[in-house]
């Protein structure tokens, strides 16, 4: 009998993907000491963050040592590899993004279609923190696809601003943004996709996020949650059961409703009803 060494869960890559967000995929690993790559490339845009330790980063003909806080970027087709150093522990998260989708985000910043980024790595703390926040948002099963979709656009708009050097001022689109808000007002008790709001407003995803926030001082998802909380307040005043309100107000479950309600009103639904 051959004895096999037990598998260390920390050394097993964890992948995330969601059918409603086909333009983005995530990968993470907590202990990368046994993770070794040969030189390779992707058809998509790749961006990752070293969350602990050190590793080597090969990009085309260059090689460097990177550490915690470093963001790495690979345009489609760029040959690259990240590998451990002398069995030292390191961890990372990676996002793989469809270039055409990213191009539409860049277009809202004044770029015509997808433009490859010149930077191959960055130690920008705002970019690093934003990437980790986006990864946490994507993998959270309690969050709606709209929230995740919106968070992806916000982060990659930030990336373009920090590394792309182009940011086009918004034109006045108040009427179209009002159509987006009206669509949310009419459908807030249902599961809403960002594509649905964009179609109602006749705006691209990235442009809608920026214009909506500029006009209403909150993102479409925040506006949606706010409408649901307003609806829940009315139901609570009418004496409806909290569990029923959670189910009928568009929240994933009662716990999600409780958290959102307290975040908005600094009180639980039970406290508000009393």
Q: Is residue 3 part of a domain?
A: no
Q: What CA–CA distance (Å, rounded) separates 228 from 60?
A: 49
Residues 55 and 179 in one domain: no
Which residue bears the tokens 């000491």? 33
The whole-angstrom separation of Cα 191 and Cα 109 is: 28
Same domain, 202 and 138: no
Do 237 and 189 reside in the same domain of the chain? yes
Report if residue 236 sits inside a domain.
yes
- 153 and 184 share a domain? no
In a domain, 1, yes or no: no
- 10-31 pLDDT, tens digit each: 778 889 999 999 999 999 988 8
Domain holding 249: CATH number?
A: 1.10.10.60
Same domain assignment for residues 26 and 131? yes
Same domain flag for 202 and 120: no
**Per-residue model confidence (pLDDT) at position 166:** 64
Contacts of 174 (CB under 8 A, 6+ apart): 215
pLDDT digits (tens, 9 = 90+) for 202-250: 999 988 998 898 888 889 999 999 899 889 988 888 888 999 988 888 8
| Domain extent for 203 | 170-274
Per-residue tokens: 131: 């990437």
Determine the Cα–Cα distance for residues 167 and 107; give it in Å rounded to an integer.
9
Predicted local confidence at residue 17, as pLDDT: 93
- When comparing pLDDT for 42 and 122, which is higher? 122
Residues 232 and 124 reside in one and the same domain: no
Residue 193, burial from CB neighbour count under 10 angstroms (0-12, 13-18, 19+): middle
Residue 215 lies in a domain: yes
Domain final residue, candidates 107, 134, 164: 164
The answer to the question of residue 211 being in a domain is yes
């Amino acid at each position: 009998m051959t004895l096999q060494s037990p598998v260390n869960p920390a050394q097993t890559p964890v992948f995330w993907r969601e059918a409603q967000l086909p333009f983005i995929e995530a990968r993470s690993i907590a202990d990368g000491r046994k993770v070794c790559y040969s030189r390779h490339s992707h058809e998509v845009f790749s961006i990752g963050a070293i969350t602990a330790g050190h590793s080597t980063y090969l990009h085309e003909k260059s090689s460097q040592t990177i550490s915690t806080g470093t963001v790495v970027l690979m345009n489609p087709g760029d040959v690259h590899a990240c590998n451990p150093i002398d069995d030292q522990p390191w961890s990372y998260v990676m996002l793989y993004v469809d270039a055409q989708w990213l191009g539409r985000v860049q277009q809202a910043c004044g770029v015509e279609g997808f433009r490859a980024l010149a930077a191959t790595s960055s130690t920008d703390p705002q970019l690093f923190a934003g990437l980790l926040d986006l990864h946490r948002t994507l993998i959270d099963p309690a969050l709606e696809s709209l929230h995740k979709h919106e968070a992806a656009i916000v982060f990659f708009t930030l990336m373009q601003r920090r590394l792309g050097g182009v940011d086009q001022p918004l034109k006045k689109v108040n009427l179209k943004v009002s159509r987006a808000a009206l669509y949310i007002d009419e459908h807030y008790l249902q599961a809403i996709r960002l594509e649905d709001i964009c179609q109602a407003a006749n705006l691209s995803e990235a442009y809608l996020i920026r214009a909506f926030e500029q006009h209403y001082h909150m993102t479409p998802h925040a506006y949606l949650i706010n409408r649901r909380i307003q609806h829940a307040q009315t139901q609570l005043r009418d004496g409806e059961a909290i569990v029923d309100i959670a189910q009928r107000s568009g929240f994933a479950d009662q716990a999600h409703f409780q958290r959102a309600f307290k975040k908005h009103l600094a009180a639980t639904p039970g406290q508000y009803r009393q």
